[in-house]
Structure 1
Amino acid sequence: MLVENIKREVIRLKAKYQTDDPFELCGAMDIMVRKMPMGTHEASCKGFFMVNSRCKTAVINNDLPSHIQRIILPHELGHGVLHSSPAVRTFHEFSLFDETDRLEYEANIFASEFLLTDSDVLDALADRMDFFHAASMLEVPPELLDFKLRLLRKQGYQIEAPYIAHSNFLRRDIDKPLN
């Protein structure tokens, strides 16, 4: 799916359901959100989306801090909105933010569009904040801001994206700075 179509879909969903809260949006869309303990070590699953008998469910690792769950749910919601047709997959466990996989890339785009408005990001950059300070102020991992900056560049903004997002960035402790 084209980036522009993903952006339009995020805008459409927020307007239709009048919310920018991913938990509220899932409820309004009849997508169940289940939280389950899945561990906190590097190899732990952070979440997944599944469809079983036409029931859509986003499962989130509740061993993770709430601010990380807040990032994972929009990613899973992206799978639900963009990839839940039987032709795509009925079950997709993820390695969050893996650019090499088209489905993961699209879910990452959905999450960055859902969590970061163009105006909030542009305002942070207009305040002459450095990249990492802007990510902290916007309460997202730097890698997610990197995805958003790349999208803004595609829209014609003269923004330098650092291109730091790696396929396994959420396997690290995102509460710690990048080395």
Structure 2
Amino acid sequence: MRAHQCYELAQEALKLSERRDPLEIAESLGIHVLFEDDYKDLLGMYYANWGNRFIFLNNRLDDIWMPMVLAHEIGHDQLHRDLASQTLQEFNLFQMNNRTEYEANAFAAHLLLENDEVYDRLREGCDIPTLAKEMNVNINLMLIKLQEMAALGYDLRVSDCGDSHFFKNIHT
């Protein structure tokens, strides 16, 4: 999927909510979000069948990781629903070399981060680690956002592709 298609799908989802709140967006999209206490290493999971769509989230995710994981799973709903209709599908959040996972992360970056706000802060001289911290996202998701913005035509040169296994390092 090309960058502009992923961006457009995220923009359509954002129209259903007044804020960039993934819980509100999931509800507006008709996705049931369930928080589970039993997950040890699993961050989130998406499932769709018989017209019902579910996202299961690890209840121990903090205020930084919960929106990112939820936005990633919403990305699977919007981009890859057909892959989750046969069995309970645990997508590997940390396999960035997998096209499906990259697309879900790109969708999450578009859902959580507004292009012009990111671009303006960079033009003001804000560095990428500071920007990620200010916007409450992991630096790797910020780097994905910058790569996507460059593909959309923004005048950006992203030389660091980040840690492709950043979701693997989450401990709940």
Q: TM-score, normalised by structure 2?
A: 0.89
Q: For residue 12 of structure 1, what is the aligned residue in structure 2?
A: 12
- Secondary structure in 2 aligned to 1:93? coil
* Counterpart Cα distance in 2 of 1:129 and 1:14: 26
Contact 2:17–2:25 (Cα < 8 Å) also in 1: yes
* Counterpart Cα distance in 2 of 1:18 and 1:134: 23
Q: CA deviation at 1:95?
A: 2.3
Q: CA deviation at 1:160?
A: 2.3
Q: CA deviation at 1:110?
A: 0.4
Q: For residue 151 of structure 2, what is the aligned residue in structure 1?
A: 154
Q: For residue 52 of structure 1, what is the aligned residue in structure 2?
A: 49
Are positions 1:72 and 2:69 aligned together? yes
List gaps (5 residues or longer) in structure 2: none
The equivalent position to 2:123 in structure 1, one of 118, 123, 126, is: 126
* Counterpart Cα distance in 1 of 2:113 and 2:20: 10
Contact 1:97–1:105 (Cα < 8 Å) also in 2: no
Q: For residue 34 of structure 1, what is the aligned residue in structure 2?
A: 34
Q: CA deviation at 1:93?
A: 1.0
* Counterpart Cα distance in 2 of 1:130 and 1:66: 22
* Counterpart Cα distance in 2 of 1:156 and 1:3: 10
> What are the within-5 Å matches in structure 2 for residues 71-150 of structure 1?
71-85=68-82, 88-90=83-85, 91-150=88-147
RMSD of aligned alpha carbons: 1.8
Number of residue-to-residue matches in the alignment: 168
